Amino acid sequence: MVVTPSAARHILSEATASSNYRGGLILQGADPAAVLAVFTALAFEALERHSYRRNYAPTESVTAGFRPQCTSLKESPHSDCYTVGQVAGKRKRTVMADHNSESSQVAEVWDNYWHGDPNGAEFASSGARHPIILSFWDEYFRTIKDQYETLRIIDIASGNGALVNCAKIVFGEQPVDFTCVDVSSSAISSVEQLFPDVHGVVADARSIPLDSSGYDVATSQFGIEYAGLDAIDEVTRLIAPGGQLALLLHNQAGDIYRQCSMRLKAIEKFQESKFIPDAITLFEEGFAAVRGADRAKYEAAGRQFQLAVQKVESIFDQHGEHVADGTIMRFFNDILKVHSRIQHSDPSEVLNWLNNMQSQVQAFAGRMTSMCSVAIDANVFDELCEKIRAQKFEILRSTPLTNPEDDVAYAWVLLAARA
């Protein structure tokens, strides 16, 4: 049963005019589904008006990193979600579990991220799909393609293999020995699933359990800076004489940092609105009312949820509808979609889905905080270059990566060769 807001207001008007009215509709003798539909229609009126007027449908590519892990929620908008499984026949993985507390916190943030969406997450919210960045790696890999007979490449903080994919496109059938290192075991599980010939290593970038001088090229895209400047000593140790170091680093004056900062501000306001917690309460009390519980709590939950809706609408007014890659707007539309089928859904499954959504918001905020905190300014970048020179490397390039069309910076580029 679906009740429109106007119909709901008419039903309430008739009910309050009744001599038996005591501050709300009378549940006794009423169809529970009808009662629930009336009150939830009113609770979602402002939300429905706001979302459907915008007619916004965010694309899968920009929202993949934030999809909740689904159970068997009936008619769920996220029925294609899944978790990473183990793949038979893949190469042996090296695991180093001795992380300090700081490293463990970083690992937890990103492990949740890679665990949520192994196939699309490597590009989400990092700017890695930008043509300027893809073009940089394509050019770099083509430059080194013929310099080594059999390339040995190690990718530090690899995620689930974005750079492996770029390299394989360039190298084709040319033999390349890839090793990927990441503090997240879920990331390594994913890269091994996508690229079974890759050797995965779960380790802190500051302490990698691999032999010195074992690689021709060490790469990292928006990764090594999370481990701090000390990690550069460990990475340079792995490069053989005549080998190269190729890094893209978060630039505090760059566009990716600006976008991450804006996303963080918006998602923090979204958390402050308590939109999802209030939606959870609304559904909990709604399902309880259907079972015959005191409906006053449900009415109070509806009023509280209306306040949350207004706060979220103010986020759109201030930051625009596409803020946070459209994730906040998607939450609006997803909750509406589930609500419109509430009478066909199991309460435990709906509430589990909403709680998973809440976890995804917290994880997203953690990622944006992490990205913003590790972005490097010009002074720190210069210090890093000096640190690499001290390791007897020649700096080949140390500049911002910019778009030649508008001169907007996206990252720091650091290329160096070991003598």
DSSP one-letter string for 229-257: TTHHHHHHHTEEEEEEEEEEEEBTTSHHH
Is 80 within a domain?
Answer: no
Least confident of 94-108, 213-227, 270-284, 361-375: 94-108
Say if residue 350's pLDDT is above 80: yes
Shared domain check, 234 and 383: yes
Computed over every residue of the chain, the mean pLDDT equals: 76
Q: Domain span at residue 22?
A: 5-66+256-371
The pLDDT score that the predictor gives to residue 104 is: 56
Which pLDDT score, from 0 to 100, does residue 107 have? 55
CA 369: distance to chain centroid?
12
Range with the poorest average pLDDT among 79-83, 191-195, 286-290, 314-318: 79-83
Domain boundary, last residue among 354, 371, 388: 371
Residue percentage of the chain with pLDDT more than 70 = 69
Residue 82 lies in a domain: no
Which of residues 339, 355, 371 is at a domain's end? 371
Same-domain status, 157 and 208? yes
- The arithmetic mean of pLDDT across residues 156-182, rounded, is 93
Question: Has residue 78 been placed in a domain?
Answer: no
Residue 116 lies in a domain: yes
Mean pLDDT to the nearest integer, 261-273: 94
Residues 132 and 218 in one domain: yes
pLDDT confidence of residue 13 = 45
**Tokens 């435990």 appear where?**
348
Are residues 111 and 39 part of one domain? Answer: no
Per-residue confidence band for 149, with pLDDT thresholds at 50, 70 and 90: confident
Q: Using an 8 Å Cβ cutoff, are 124 and 325 in contact?
A: yes
Q: Is the pLDDT of residue 412 over 70?
A: yes
* Long-range CB contact pairs, 128-131, < 8 A, 24+: 128/162, 128/221, 128/222, 129/61, 130/410
In this predicted structure, what is the pLDDT of residue 338? 79
Q: Give percent of the chain above pLDDT 90.
A: 50
Q: Is the pLDDT of residue 34 over 70?
A: no
| CA distances to 103, 149, 162, 316 from 335, in Å | 35, 55, 32, 17
Q: What is the mean pLDDT of residues 19-47?
A: 42
* Better-scored residue on pLDDT, 67 or 274: 274
What pLDDT does residue 122 have?
Answer: 31
Residue 94, pLDDT score: 55
Same domain, 53 and 113: no
* Residue 112, pLDDT score: 57
Same domain, 243 and 383: yes
Cross-strand pairs, 248: 221, 413
Report whether pLDDT(415) > 80. Answer: yes
CATH number at residue 199: 3.40.50.150
Amino acid, single-letter form, for residue 53:
R
Please give the tally of structural domains in the chain. Answer: 2
pLDDT (average), residues 167-175: 92
Asked if residue 351 has pLDDT above 60, the reply is yes
| One domain, residues 280 and 311 | yes
Per-residue pLDDT for 162 more than 80? yes
At residue 154, the pLDDT reads 98
Give me the mean pLDDT over the 187-210 stretch: 94
Q: Has residue 98 got a pLDDT over 60? A: no
Query: Looking at the domain assignment, is residue 238 inside a domain?
Result: yes
Q: Do residues 5 and 45 make contact, with C-beta atoms less than 8 angstroms apart?
A: yes
Q: How confident is the model at residue 228 (pLDDT cuts 50, 70, 90)?
A: confident
Within-domain flag for 314: yes
In terms of domains, do 300 and 184 share one?
Answer: no
> In this predicted structure, what is the pLDDT of residue 74?
29
Instruction: Indicate whether 21 and 47 sit together in one domain.
Output: yes
pLDDT for 123 equals: 29
pLDDT at 327: 83
pLDDT at 400 over 90: yes
Higher pLDDT, 98 or 162: 162
Q: Judge if 11 and 102 occupy the same domain.
A: no
Supply the pLDDT for residue 61. 25
| Torsion of Cα atoms, 206 then 96 then 127 then 124, to 10° | -160
Residue 342 belongs to a domain: yes
Task: Answer yes or no: is pLDDT of 117 > 90.
Answer: no
- Residues 305, 392, single domain; the answer is no
pLDDT at 106 over 70: no
What value does the mean pLDDT take over residues 97-125? Answer: 48
pLDDT level of residue 127 (50, 70, 90 thresholds): low
In a domain, 47, yes or no: yes
Are 274 and 361 contained in the same domain? yes
